[in-house]
Structure 1
Amino acid sequence: MDKLINQIHCVFLKFRVCACCGSFLNSKAQEERCLGILCYYCSAALQQSALKNIVGGYNMKVFSLYDWRDKNYLLASKIIRAFKCGGPEELFYSVAEKMIIHSLQFCCAEENKNLVFVPAPGKNLFGRDHAESLAFQLAKITGGIYAPLLIRSGEKAQKLKSEKERKMETKLCLKPNAIEALRQYKNQASRIIFIDDIITSGATAKSAFETLGRPKNYMVWTIFHRPRLRRQL
C-alpha cells in the first residue's frame, strides 16, 4: 500500500499538481514562492506552522522551518511523502532557499563561511536520497560543500526493533573515505550542518554529532520539528 501511495505522489509531482489537495499548481502559487508541491491555499495553511525561533531542548543549535502538530498532520505527512518519492530539482531548491533565509535570521554573516552540509544517510543506493538532494541544493546555493560522509550501521538489527526503539538507538558511522575529508573541514574551522527532513527525539542528529567527532561548529537544519512524537520517545 505504501508503495502505491508513493507512486501516486510521484505522479502528482510530475504533472505539477498540489501534493495535498490535488489541485493544479498555477502562476499564483509560483509567485508566492510555495514549496513547489503545494497550491497557494495549502502553502498558506502550512505557513501558520512556520517557526520563528531556534528549536530548544536539544543541547545543539536546531533550525526547523515548520512545526508538525495535530492541526497540520495530514499536510505535513504528505509533504514528507512527496520528498521521499523524489520530486523535481526545483522542489529541493525551493526548500533550500527557505532554509537559508530562515537560518540567516539567527546567524551572523561571518558564521556562514565554509559551510559543510552533511545529509542524513539514505537507503537509495542508486541516487541521492531526499535529505541528500536537499543538502546538495543547499551547497549549490551557498557555495558550500556537499559532504555525504555518513552511513547507517546495523540496518538488519534495526529492522527487528519497534519504531520507538529505532529512533532512540539510531547509529551512524563514517564512510571509509570520509575520515580525511572530515579532518580537513575541522582544520578549516568549517561550520558543519546536519541536514534531515524531520527532527523528533534528536537521536539521529546526536549520533551524527558523535560520529563526526563532536565538531565545535555544529548545527542541525530540518524541514519539520515534531514535538508531540518527541515527547513520546
Structure 2
Amino acid sequence: MLQNLKQSFYTPLCLNCGSFFVCDHLLCETCFLAFFKNLSLTDNRHAEFKHFFLIDWTPGESDLISEMVYRLKSDRSVKAWRYYAEVVAHSLADQEDLEVFDAIVSLPGSRADSVHAWLFAKNLSKALGLPVLNILTKSALDRAQKSKSAAERKSASLENTIQVDEQFTRAELSNLKLIYVDDIMTTGETFKRCQQALGAVEKSILITMFYRPRARQT
C-alpha cells in the first residue's frame, strides 16, 4: 500500500500534458493513446541474442520518454511497473511459447539499492506465473555501463564481474531456459556476462522496458 501511495504522491500529473487524471502508466488516457496506442514488444533484429523491448528510447529526442525513464528508475513507480509488466506478458505470449521457460532472472543494477529491474521482474513473474530468481549481483569494482566508453564496456566483458548466489550451482542453472529482465538495454554487455555467469548461454531471452541502440550512445 505504501509503495502504491508513493507513485500517487510523486507522480500526481500526466508526464506529458500535466493532467490530474493520470493513470497507472504515468500518463492520462488521452496522452497514452496518442503515444502508445498499439504498445507491444518489438523483436530486436539487430541484437546478437534474442531481445525484446517495449519502447525505443533516444535521449534528447523525446522529453516524455526521458522523463518516463527517470520516473521508472526509482521505487516510486510500483503501479507503473505492474502495468507495463502485464503489457509485456500479454505481448510475449503472442510471440513466444511460454511453457518452455523455467524462470525469470533480474539483471543486477549498478548499485546495491537499484530496484527497478527487480520490480519489473517481480511483476512479470506474477503475470506469467513463473518463479523469479534474484541471484545475480555486480561486484563493487563494476561501474555503471552508461559511464563507460564503448572500449571500456568491451574490455569489461572479458573479465566477468557478475556474481551468482552461492546456494545455486552452475550445473543446476545451466539447464534452465531463462527470461532475463532489465529496464534498459544499451550495449548488451551486462546481459552477456550474466549468461556466462549462469552458463545458460544458448537458451535464454532478454526482455527490457527500453532499448537505447548502440549508435545513439553518448
| TM-score over 0.5 for the pair | yes
Match of residue 13, structure 2, among 5, 12, 17: 17
Distance in 1 between the 2:104 and 2:7 partners? Answer: 30
Q: 1:61 to 1:178 in 2, by over 3 A?
A: farther
For 2:189 and 2:32, the matched residues in 1 are separated by 29
Q: 1 or 2, which has the higher helix percentage?
A: 1
Q: Report if the CA contact (8 A) 1:12-1:22 is conserved.
A: no
Q: CA RMSD in A?
A: 3.1
Q: Distance in 1 between matches of 2:40 and 2:11?
A: 30
Provide the rounded CA distance (Å) in 2 between the counterparts of 1:167 and 1:49: 34
Who is 1:32 aligned against? none
Partner of 2:199: 213
Which of residues 201, 208, 216 in structure 2 aligns to 1:222?
208
Any conservation in 2 of the 1:92–1:137 contact (CA below 8 Å)?
A: yes
Match of 2:119 in 1: 133
Distance 1:191 1:39 in 2: 37
Report whether the alignment pairs 1:148 with 2:134. Answer: yes
**Contact 1:172–1:208 (Cα < 8 Å) also in 2:** no
Post-superposition offset of 1:197: 1.1
Counterpart for residue 3 of structure 2 = none
Partner Cα separation in structure 2 for residue 80 and residue 167 of structure 1: 22
TM-score (norm 2): 0.78
Secondary structure of the structure 1 residue equivalent to 2:85? helix
Deviations 1:78-124 (A, max 9, x none): 1111111222432211111011112122112433x42x211121255
Structure 1: unaligned runs, 5 residues or longer:
1-9, 30-34
Quote the residue 2:107 is aligned against: 120
Percent identical residues: 24
Structure-1 separation of matches of 2:15 and 2:25: 9
Q: What is the 5 A alignment of 1:1-233?
A: 13-14=9-10, 16-26=12-22, 29=23, 36-47=25-36, 50=39, 53-69=42-58, 73-111=62-100, 113-114=101-102, 116-123=103-110, 125=112, 129-155=115-141, 158=143, 162-165=147-150, 167-168=153-154, 169=156, 171-180=160-169, 183-187=171-175, 190-227=176-213, 230-232=214-216
Cα shift at 1:40:
2.0
Size of the alignment, in residue pairs? 207
Gaps of 5+ in 2: 1-5
Could you tell me how far apart the structure 2 residues matched to 1:185 and 1:222 are? 21
Instruction: Note if contact 1:13-1:88 (Cα within 8 Å) is conserved in structure 2.
Output: no
Instruction: Give, as a single letter, the amino acid of the residue that structure 2 aligns with 1:164.
Output: S
Taking a change above 3 Å as real, the CA distance of residues 154 and 124 of structure 1, as seen in their structure-2 partners, is closer
TM-score (norm 1): 0.73
SS in 2 for 1:196: strand
Deviation at 1:146, TM superposition (A): 1.3
Q: Secondary structure at the match of 1:198?
A: strand
Cα separation, 2, equivalents of 1:22 and 1:178: 48
Deviation, 1:125, is 4.1
Q: What is the one-letter code of the residue matched to 1:44?
A: L
